[in-house]
Every structure is written in structure tokens, then in C-alpha cells.
């Protein structure tokens, strides 16, 4: 499949077919494809690449100030997870990670170790780092192992199929972490920035909150937000940053992120209302992170883009732009009925 054009909630393929997009590019295009404000923000930048961790562009500084907590920036969502996990090791000195069945945190080796999809882990099992204690998602994990540096959890599991945990689950994890002196890392890369109807899901319990996907408005950008005071200081390990990338704090991505941070809070009520319509149509999840049984190829033949989901791939997932209209939603649900 080759995309030739994407605008709002619609994608045109190279063969001329126009599709309703219920993927938002894996949730990245939260404000719709080619959002006019984001395009203008890109055009306005006089610096399009700075020096990573050595020199921020002015717009990167403005983004840091606009985020709700001190943050270490990354490029991909996996970077934010890596930062969070390494922060836990630096803060506690312990190697253990408590993660959950069905979790998806990325495919780099450390994030992959915490990921619950065996088909992704198995080919690289010999190289996977860390000591990972896996627990059923949504259940009290019990007292944490003595070596546990952290618990990492999604507030709603994304790739597993928009799995919503029982009420009180995150609070239980907070209590278990407090008992063990471990950090609670909340991976809101998929669910955050409005996707589940909240701006920063998990912020009330997190020590570190990971965001990405929608943050850069279409360009790669992520952040690990330090909700526990002083955690950013554990990274002061010498004159050079020991975890960085050439493209950290990319000015174009940061300019788009400032638009995202301004626009998304105004869409939260709309996200919750649209999510209820998905719910009534048989899609499980929260907000506009939705899934149901189905086949992505069949949906494509009906003119709707969705992504496969579920541990066994038996689900289809909808993560449309938060700007999807009632008419577009009606059209999509009708085509898939």
C-alpha cells in the first residue's frame, strides 16, 4: 500500500482509491493529516536542526517550558520507555522490571524485554537485557520482587487491543511501588495526549510518564516526564549526556508539539463523545483508542483503514484523528457494519 496524499481523516492511495482513515498513522495524526496550524508552524521555523543535546533551538526551549513536568526528550516512543526504565535503574540501583502480559513498549532490546508479545521477543531472546517479572494485566501483582526497580504499565493497553483495566488498578500499582521503593512508569505513548479522553493519563500515580506518537504532530518526538521531584537529577552523570540522539529536540517536531499541546485540550470532550459512539457500535476501549474483532484487509476493501491488533492479530483497531467529524464517523461505522 502506497499513500499518495493524506488530508484530515482521508488518505488517497497511489492507485487513486480514497480511504477513510481510522488509524491516524498509528495515532500520530491526532489533529488530522496536514493540519494547517502544524504546517504553518513548520514553515515559520528559522532553525530546522540544532545540535541534539548540545544546543537547543529556541522552539525546543519553549516546548520544555510548555510541558507539565521536567522532561528528557526522545525521538521515538521507545526512547521515552528506554529513558524511563534507565531512570528507574539509576534511581534505585536495582535491575528488575515488573511488566504485564499483552504489554507493548517498543522493539528496541530493553523495551522489547518488557513487551508482552512473544512473537516479537523470541527471535532476540538471547540478547534481551534485564530481569523481567511478567504479571497478568489488570490484576494486583502482589508484593514486588526484591530486585524490582520499577513497574511499567499502559493505562489502556494499545496494541493488545484497547484493553481497559479495572478501576483502581493503577492506584494498586502505586501502592505496591511505594511498599517496595520502586518507581511506577506509565507508558502513555499510545493513550496519551487526548487519545483516551485525557491529556496525561496516569499522571496522578506516575513517577515517570512517557508520551510520544501524537506529540510531534507527524514528526518523531517523545518525552519522559518526571513526576517525582529530583528524578531528572539522576541523569547528571558527567559532562556528556549518556543517552541522547542526533535529532533530540528537533525544532520542527517541537514547533508542531506546541500546536498539539494547545489544540488537544479543546478536543477532550469531543473525544469522549466520539468514543461513546464507538462503544455503542461494539468497539471496546476508551476514548478514541478502540478495537473489535475483524479483518484489516476486509476493512480496506470496504474503503476504511484500520490496523490489526490483539496478541493473536484477531482484532482491528481504530485510532482516528481526534478531529474526526460525526459524518466521517457515521460513514466509517456504516462501511464496517
> Is 104 in the same domain as 220?
yes
> Is 177 in the same domain as 244?
yes
8 A C-beta contact, residue 275 and residue 197? yes
> Is 191 in the same domain as 291?
no
Residue 126, domain extent: 43-263
CATH number at 217 reads 3.40.640.10
> Is 142 in the same domain as 194?
yes
The grid coordinates listed for 112 are: 522489547
8 A C-beta contact, residue 38 and residue 323? no
> Is 156 in the same domain as 253?
yes
313: number of Cβ within 10 Å: 12
Task: Tally the domains of the chain.
Answer: 2
Question: Which tens digits make up the pLDDT trace of 3-55?
Answer: 999 999 999 999 999 999 999 999 999 999 999 999 999 999 999 999 888 88
Q: How far is CA 54 from the centre of its chain?
A: 26
> Is 272 in the same domain as 135?
no
Question: Which tens digits make up the pLDDT trace of 274-319?
Answer: 999 999 999 999 999 999 999 999 999 999 999 999 999 999 999 9
Residue 331 CA to residue 305 CA, distance in Å, equals 12
Q: Which positions ≥6 away from 65 have C-beta within 8 Å?
A: none
8 A C-beta contact, residue 231 and residue 87? yes
Exposure class string for 13-28: b at 16+ Cβ within 10 A, else e: eeeeeebbbbbbbebb
Residue 209 CA to residue 213 CA, distance in Å, equals 14
51: number of Cβ within 10 Å: 11
Domain end marker among 238, 263, 288: 263
Question: Which tens digits make up the pLDDT trace of 114-157?
Answer: 999 999 999 999 999 989 999 999 999 999 999 999 999 999 99
DSSP code for 163: B
> Is 290 in the same domain as 328?
yes
Strand partners, 289: 286
> Is 257 in the same domain as 271?
no
DSSP code for 165: P
> Is 259 in the same domain as 271?
no
The secondary structure element, H or E, covering residue 82 is helix 77-92
Domain end marker among 229, 263, 297: 263
* pTM (global) more than 0.95: yes
Domain end marker among 236, 263, 290: 263
CATH number at 318 reads 3.90.1150.10
Amino acid at each position: 500500500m502506497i499513500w499518495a496524499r493524506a488530508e484530515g481523516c482521508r488518505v488517497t492511495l497511489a492507485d487513486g482509491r480514497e480511504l477513510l482513515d481510522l488509524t491516524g498513522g498509528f495515532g500520530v495524526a491526532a489533529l488530522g493529516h496536514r493540519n494547517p496550524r502544524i504546517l504553518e508552524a513548520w514553515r515559520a521555523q528559522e532553525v530546522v536542526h540544532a545540535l541534539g543535546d548540545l544546543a537547543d533551538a529556541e522552539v525546543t526551549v519553549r516546548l520544555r517550558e510548555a510541558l507539565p513536568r521536567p522532561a528528557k526528550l526522545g525521538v521515538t516512543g521507545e526512547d521515552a520507555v528506554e529513558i524511563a526504565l534507565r531512570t528507574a535503574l539509576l534511581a534505585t540501583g536495582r535491575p528488575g522490571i515488573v511488566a504485564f502480559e499483552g504489554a507493548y513498549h517498543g522493539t528496541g532490546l530493553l523495551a522489547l524485554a518488557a513487551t508482552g508479545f512473544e512473537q516479537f521477543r523470541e527471535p532476540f531472546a538471547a540478547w534481551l537485557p534485564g530481569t523481567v517479572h511478567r504479571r497478568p494485566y489488570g490484576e494486583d501483582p502482589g508484593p514486588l520482587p526484591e530486585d524490582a526497580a520499577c513497574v511499567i504499565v499502559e493505562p489502556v493497553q494499545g496494541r493488545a487491543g484497547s484493553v481497559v483495566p479495572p478501576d483502581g488498578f493503577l492506584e494498586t500499582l502505586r501502592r505496591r511501588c511505594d511498599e517496595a521503593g520502586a518507581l511506577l512508569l506509565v507508558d502513555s505513548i499510545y493513550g496519551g495526549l487526548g487519545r483516551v479522553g485525557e491529556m496525561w493519563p496516569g499522571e496522578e500515580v506516575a513517577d515517570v510518564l512517557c508520551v510520544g506518537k501524537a506529540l510531534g504532530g507527524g514528526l518523531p518526538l517523545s518525552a519522559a516526564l518526571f513526576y517525582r521531584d529530583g528524578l531528572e537529577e539522576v541523569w547528571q552523570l558527567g559532562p556528556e549526556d549518556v543517552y541522547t540522539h542526533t535529532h533530540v529536540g528537533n525544532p520542527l517536531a517541537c514547533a508542531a508539539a506546541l500546536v498539539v499541546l494547545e489544540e488537544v485540550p479543546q478536543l477532550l470532550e469531543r473525544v469522549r463523545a466520539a468514543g461513546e459512539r464507538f462503544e455503542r457500535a461494539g468497539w471496546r476501549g476508551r476514548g478514541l483508542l478502540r478495537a473489535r474483532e475483524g479483518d484489516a484487509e476486509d476493512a480496506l476493501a470496504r474503503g476504511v483503514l484500520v490496523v490489526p491488533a490483539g496478541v493473536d492479530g484477531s482484532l482491528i483497531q481504530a485510532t482516528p484523528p481526534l478531529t474526526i467529524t460525526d459524518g466521517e464517523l457515521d460513514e466509517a461505522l456504516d462501511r464496517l457494519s
